[in-house]
A and B are shown apart, each in its own frame.
Chain A
Amino acid sequence: MITTTGLTKIYRSGRSRGHEITALDGVDLHVREGEVFGVVGRSGAGKSSLIRCVNLLERPTAGTVSVDGTDLTALAGRGRRAGKDLRRARSSIGMVFQHFNLLSSRTVQDNIELPLEILGHSGQERSRRALELLDLVGLTDKARVYPAQLSGGQKQRVGIARALAGKPKVLLSDEATSALDPETTRSILRLLRDINQQLGLTVLLITHEMEVVKTICDSAALMERGRITESGTVGDLLATPGSRLARELFPVDGAGNGPGGTVLDVTFHGDAATQPVISQLSRTYNIDISILGAAMDTVGGRQIGRMRIELPGTFEENVVPVGFLREQGLQVEIVNAAPQVAETVALTKEGTK
């Protein structure tokens, strides 16, 4: 639905060529129809430039963007101003902003009608559609109110209603929940999820909150220094050994209970995750397992996520149980194994000195 190839954006400050900032460095992104795709990264990683290049609010220095089969970069032409074709293409891409960007001079309803005014719909049709959308976002009673009288969450609901007014196929969300508290964030994410499912809308969102990706994204990409360093469905990312995105999405922590244990990180994904593996392990080998930390979610009846567990004894003693876990299709990483007895002695001596 959204494809970028070799997308590059270089900002030049001043007239000299010395000050160049490469915000996007050859980004290839592919967002499939109907999915919620999240791009995560720190501030300054280029996320914002990326999403703004998708509807060409920002002109890419090089590369192409195509949305729903239309090459937007070709429509853009060479001038700074957006031509008619590009403007028409933009009206089928909704956008939601971190700071809502509602017009304070217009009522909620008039804000939602604005895109329809641009599309040239009649007054009657505009108000019918606006009321329909207010109902969708749960703000039917706020039609005649000005944005200043709304809470942050309500403002973002208006922002979402406005973005949907022109019946877009794609919704871009530029840190839509970053200015909201956790509770409101969850309700906005739930709304986005509902819209994605009800209307079959493709959503591309950028965020610095892992929680957002975990809550609603089907796929995610990690962005660093203007490049996409990891990308895939959440399941695929978990299945990738050493994926930093998976580790950050499902962070596990917790130290072992002292010497004499083996600490493992177990990643659950795919079919194996439907089995109660940990209790099977415990019963089969008659060992006590401590769960030190876990970040698990159940999506579509499957458990996905990561868990840190501790098995008694050295790694050598645990080769068989680890093999069992791997046989179940789980990914196992050894965090730290109990050191050999000799080493322990040496360390104790070192400590007493």
Chain B
Amino acid sequence: MTWSEMQPLLTQGTLDTLYMVLWSALVTVVGGLPLGVLLVLTDKGGLLQNTAVNKVVGVIVNIGRSLPFIILLIALIPFTTFVVGTFIGPTAMIVPLAIGAIPFFARLVETAIREVDHGLVEAVQSMGGSLPTIVRKVLLPQALPSIVSGTTTTVIALIGYSAMAGAVGGEGLGSKAVTYGFQRFENGFMIATVVVLILIVTVIQLIGDLAVRLLTRRTRTA
């Protein structure tokens, strides 16, 4: 396989991968963030202490976390078909990718928010702040650097999941690597996809680290 043969495949694969990963990351953040906040608030001693809700959400999150992604992918086929109309192709893959990543991200958000000093919450309570105020003006802004770093970790995990999704009817670099590199024994192409994946992961990590650094610069002593 020559470079001119590989190039269009790699370009298409990269675009599909990024399409799946970025959209599913967006859905993950939108879904996982409130879930993470809910886990902290409903916990024992939390501002919305509710053992029942906390237990139920916790169990759902744990089930989501313990299922191997490839199984989740197959188990979700009826649901994906219901939502997107098909279970094949990059758009359809966004559904299982997001559902697989939401519990993971929710736990990262939970940890980040738990680290916010309770004294800050009390300070805002003493000013007469309501629960939404506390979440919006204290918990989320104070945990933001950790949440951003958790998002980076999640996006990188999603790249790994997306390769698996490629094997089960998705598109992207994973599917290209399976079709050309594995089934047609094109070792050169296999290596090329690996290099591209490494590049994508590195760039995302760099962007994530940069964002965290910008956010924490002000909180460190000069």
Say whether A and B bind each other.
Answer: yes
In the complex, the chain B residue whose C-beta lies closest to that of A93 is B126
Q: Please judge, given known A-B contacts A81-B131, A117-B137, A146-B218, whether A105 and B123 are in contact too, CB under 8 Å.
A: no
A240 at the interface (CB under 8 A from B): no
- With the chains together, A89 CA to B126 CA distance in Å? 10
CB neighbours of A105 from chain B (8 A): 141-142, 144, 218-219
Which listed residue, B123, B128, B220, touches A91 by the CB 8 Å rule?
B128
- With the chains together, A101 CA to B128 CA distance in Å? 15
Give per-residue flags for B5-18: 1 if the beta carbon is below 8 A from chain A beta carbons, else 0: 00000000000000
B68 at the interface (CB under 8 A from A): no
- With the chains together, A166 CA to B49 CA distance in Å? 29
- With the chains together, A55 CA to B219 CA distance in Å? 30
Cβ of B119 and Cβ of A88 under 8 Å apart? Answer: no
- With the chains together, A91 CA to B84 CA distance in Å? 50
Cβ of A87 and Cβ of B141 under 8 Å apart? Answer: no
- With the chains together, A97 CA to B133 CA distance in Å? 20
Cβ of B220 and Cβ of A148 under 8 Å apart? Answer: yes
In the complex, the chain B residue whose C-beta lies closest to that of A165 is B127
B222 at the interface (CB under 8 A from A): yes
A309 at the interface (CB under 8 A from B): no
A95 at the interface (CB under 8 A from B): yes
A104 at the interface (CB under 8 A from B): yes
A186 at the interface (CB under 8 A from B): no
CB neighbours of B117 from chain A (8 A): 101
Q: Please judge, given known A-B contacts A103-B141, A148-B221, whether A87 and B129 are in contact too, CB under 8 Å.
A: yes
CB neighbours of B125 from chain A (8 A): 57, 82, 90
- With the chains together, A166 CA to B219 CA distance in Å? 26
A115 at the interface (CB under 8 A from B): yes
List CB contacts (< 8 Å) of A72-125 with chain B.
Answer: 80-82, 87-91, 93-95, 97, 99, 101-106, 114-115, 117-119
Closest CB-CB distance, A206 to chain B, in whole Å? 14
Give per-residue flags for B40-51: 1 if the beta carbon is below 8 A from chain A beta carbons, else 0: 000000011100
Cβ of A104 and Cβ of B142 under 8 Å apart? Answer: yes
A149 at the interface (CB under 8 A from B): yes
Closest CB-CB distance, A115 to chain B, in whole Å? 4
Which listed residue, B47, B131, B142, touches A103 by the CB 8 Å rule?
B142
B138 at the interface (CB under 8 A from A): yes
Closest CB-CB distance, A59 to chain B, in whole Å? 12
List CB contacts (< 8 Å) of B91-137 with chain A.
Answer: 117, 119-120, 122-131, 133, 137
Cβ of A149 and Cβ of B221 under 8 Å apart? Answer: yes
B residues touching A (Cβ–Cβ < 8 Å)? 47-49, 117, 119-120, 122-131, 133, 137-138, 141-142, 144, 218-222
* Further 16 A-B residue pairs, CB within 8 A, beyond A118-B124, A118-B128: A81-B131, A90-B128, A94-B126, A95-B126, A99-B119, A103-B120, A103-B137, A104-B142, A105-B218, A105-B219, A106-B141, A114-B127, A117-B137, A118-B129, A148-B219, A166-B127
